[in-house]
Chains A and B, each alone.
Chain A
Amino acid sequence: MKKTFTLMRARQRDRRRVLRGAMVAAGSAVLAGCDKLSNNQAFVDTLKSSQYLSRAAQKVVAPRPAMAQEFSESDIAPSFRGNGTLDPMDADYQALRQAGFANYELMVGGLVEKSASYTLAQLRAMPSRTQVTRHDCVEGWSCIGKWKGVPLGLILEQVKPLPQAKYVVFRCFDSMDGPTLDGHDSRYYESIDLDEANHAQTILAYELNDQPLPVTNGAPIRCRVERQLGYKQAKYVKAIELVASFASIRGGKGGYWEDEGYEWYGGI
């Protein structure tokens, strides 16, 4: 009797072990399947298509002029975290930096009636906007800072985009893979649509927390697009270009991180 009982217990234990083994195996198979799907272009494109739905829905609930939250001075973070490039090693940037950006010139061109260029002094002399806003990194952290800069809309008013212009592309100084001699171009770039470019809070910032923009945060000029994630806020802006499509630029996805797989629409 006791022997049978022990035998039953052993059998039960075996069964449990087999069951557990089967569950672990099934779980790993499902996980491996998920990883395989993550490398299947058609599947990933399907997943990524939800960003168009998100963008359309968000445009409905938060229309074009809707304002990002602005904070009081007491909410400003003691130090504003820098991310991505913190110190561009590119020679042209280094030369400008050594001269205190006195020779900096922001080129604005592409599909515009008259292209223009602006020195830092000229930008500072233009009407400005100051805003205390929250910077949301795609990684999940947030930082509040006070930005001062020229509304991008004012610049666009001066250069007059042509009717076919749809996007504003920011060309930056910093090579994400470091400067190379073989001509490999990894300089940061970003793009936003004209609605976002003309938004009241979209500015070309030259000051952070009442100080000239530090190098870690994008000196001399960084873009602020307050209703999108951090990677949309191009630092070290060298030139601005109006285009009808960004399909022929680098990876064709509209930005450095977009080419690496992130969504072009950074509102979510």
Chain B
Amino acid sequence: MDIEATAAPQQATATSPPVRRFYRHRLPVRVMHWINVFCLTILLMSGLNIFNAHPALYWGQGSNFARPWFSLRAENTPAGAVGKTQIGNADFTTSGVLGLSKVDGSQTARGFPSWATIPGPQWLAMARHWHLFFAWLFIVNGVLYLLYTIFSRHLVRDLVPTKVELKNVGRSIVDHLKFKHPTGEAARRYNVLQSLTYLIVIFGLLPLVVVAGMAMSPRIDSVFTGWVSLVGGRQSARSLHFLGAFGLLLFVVIHVVEVVIAGIWNELRSMITGWYVLPVKHVKEEGQP
């Protein structure tokens, strides 16, 4: 594909060299993206501290204390304390990270380790203050994003894949597995797997985490008496909130890996300044060290 020829009418003047730069992310999207990064980081880490107050998960309305489906605990053995992670009927030794980890140099029984929680020490009241404050910021940011993405047509224009793109989803999967990224004009749009993932996160995972979080609030439960049963009960809601949070974490890990593969400086620049350089076929990313 001749990138220079296609890009020329948009950017280049008669004298300047052909420009492959284009304005990819508009200011509101960039600002809201970074607010989201900030909020989700704090929400995840303060959430882990809250989880540590009762490091066990259940299905249903109430807690069946004898049978959580997931729990982190410390156990005393003749050889000393060990950290245990239980998933269903399986038990794993996870000393040092889950169930038992060092706090200020001494082994302490706690679910997630202090380097993964806000605040570091086990402190439920404080973790709740962080969590519930930044939950508000996250919600306000999220609602503004939804309004913006719909009314600016960002959603229809950039996020919803075309029929042709949807047909090529198989090829996109193969390309991803080969770590091959679109180049030239094709890189102007999100690739189909990417836009589908964003749609699932924006309209599936994030609302799930929010609704499950709200289902844990006893006052919100009374909005429509009994609605919490629709998500399986309050303890199911707590489990879904937790699983949803780890779904988001998985998304973030893949997202960051893809950013690194696609060209970390180019991608970062486009989310900070808005400007993105179309990658050239078979040529190594210029911004990459």
Does A51 have its Cβ within 8 Å of any Cβ on chain B? yes
Q: Which of B54, B119, B222 contacts A141, CB < 8 Å?
A: B54
- Name which of B18-26, B191-199, B224-232 contacts chain A: B224-232
B67 CB, min distance to chain A CBs, angstroms: 12
Asked if A69 and B229 make an inter-chain contact with CB atoms under 8 angstroms apart, the answer reads yes
Does B155 have its Cβ within 8 Å of any Cβ on chain A? no
A28 to B234, CA, bound (A): 35
A214 to B79, CA, bound (A): 40
27 intermolecular pairs with C-beta atoms under 8 Å apart: A31-B115, A32-B120, A34-B118, A34-B120, A35-B120, A38-B126, A44-B129, A47-B129, A47-B130, A48-B133, A50-B133, A51-B132, A66-B225, A68-B221, A69-B221, A134-B218, A136-B218, A139-B124, A140-B54, A142-B61, A142-B234, A228-B218, A260-B125, A262-B124, A263-B125, A268-B217, A268-B220
Does B145 have its Cβ within 8 Å of any Cβ on chain A? no
B: residues with CB less than 8 A from A are: 45, 50-51, 53-54, 56, 58, 61-63, 65, 115, 118-121, 123-126, 128-130, 132-133, 135-136, 216-223, 225-226, 228-229, 234-235, 238
Measured between beta carbons, the chain A residues less than 8 angstroms from B124 are: 138-139, 262
Measured between beta carbons, the chain B residues less than 8 angstroms from A139 are: 53-54, 124
**B237: nearest chain-A partner, CB-CB:** A142
Cβ contacts A18-53/B at 8 Å (1 or 0 each): 000000000110011011001000001011111101
Residue picked from B63, B136, B218, most chain A C-beta under 10 Å: B218
A61 to B220, CA, bound (A): 7
A228 to B50, CA, bound (A): 17
Asked if A31 and B120 make an inter-chain contact with CB atoms under 8 angstroms apart, the answer reads yes
Does A118 have its Cβ within 8 Å of any Cβ on chain B? no
Measured between beta carbons, the chain B residues less than 8 angstroms from A260 are: 125
Measured between beta carbons, the chain A residues less than 8 angstroms from B121 are: 35
Measured between beta carbons, the chain A residues less than 8 angstroms from B133 are: 46-50
Q: Which of A58, A75, A143 contacts B219, CB < 8 Å?
A: A58
Asked if A68 and B225 make an inter-chain contact with CB atoms under 8 angstroms apart, the answer reads yes
Does A11 have its Cβ within 8 Å of any Cβ on chain B? no
Measured between beta carbons, the chain A residues less than 8 angstroms from B217 are: 58, 267-268
**A267: nearest chain-B partner, CB-CB:** B219
A35 to B126, CA, bound (A): 10
A72 CB, min distance to chain B CBs, angstroms: 11
**A137: nearest chain-B partner, CB-CB:** B54
Asked if A141 and B218 make an inter-chain contact with CB atoms under 8 angstroms apart, the answer reads no
B228 CB, min distance to chain A CBs, angstroms: 6
Asked if B119 and A53 make an inter-chain contact with CB atoms under 8 angstroms apart, the answer reads no
A: residues with CB less than 8 A from B are: 27-28, 31-32, 34-35, 38, 44, 46-51, 53-54, 58, 61-62, 66-71, 75, 77, 81, 134, 136-144, 226-229, 257, 260-263, 266-268
**A48: nearest chain-B partner, CB-CB:** B129
A143 to B120, CA, bound (A): 29
Asked if B220 and A62 make an inter-chain contact with CB atoms under 8 angstroms apart, the answer reads yes
Instruction: Please judge, given known A-B contacts A69-B226, A142-B234, whether A134 and B219 are in contact too, CB under 8 Å.
Output: no
Instruction: Please judge, given known A-B contacts A71-B61, A139-B53, A143-B63, whether A229 and B115 are in contact too, CB under 8 Å.
Output: no
Asked if B128 and A134 make an inter-chain contact with CB atoms under 8 angstroms apart, the answer reads no
Residue picked from B54, B123, B221, most chain A C-beta under 10 Å: B221
A202 CB, min distance to chain B CBs, angstroms: 13
Asked if A140 and B238 make an inter-chain contact with CB atoms under 8 angstroms apart, the answer reads yes
Residue picked from B126, B225, B238, most chain A C-beta under 10 Å: B126
Measured between beta carbons, the chain A residues less than 8 angstroms from B54 are: 137, 139-141
A67 to B224, CA, bound (A): 8
A144 to B62, CA, bound (A): 6
A262 to B65, CA, bound (A): 25
Measured between beta carbons, the chain A residues less than 8 angstroms from B45 are: 34
A54 to B140, CA, bound (A): 13
Measured between beta carbons, the chain B residues less than 8 angstroms from A267 are: 217-220
Q: Which of A34, A50, A70, A138 contacts B119, CB < 8 Å?
A: A34
Asked if A262 and B125 make an inter-chain contact with CB atoms under 8 angstroms apart, the answer reads yes
Asked if B125 and A77 make an inter-chain contact with CB atoms under 8 angstroms apart, the answer reads no
Measured between beta carbons, the chain A residues less than 8 angstroms from B120 are: 31-32, 34-35
Asked if B222 and A69 make an inter-chain contact with CB atoms under 8 angstroms apart, the answer reads yes
Q: Which are the 8 A-B pairs with shortest beta-carbon distances?
A: A267-B219, A261-B125, A66-B222, A47-B129, A141-B63, A140-B54, A139-B54, A139-B53
Asked if B225 and A67 make an inter-chain contact with CB atoms under 8 angstroms apart, the answer reads yes
Instruction: Please judge, given known A-B contacts A69-B226, A139-B124, whether A268 and B61 are in contact too, CB under 8 Å.
Output: no
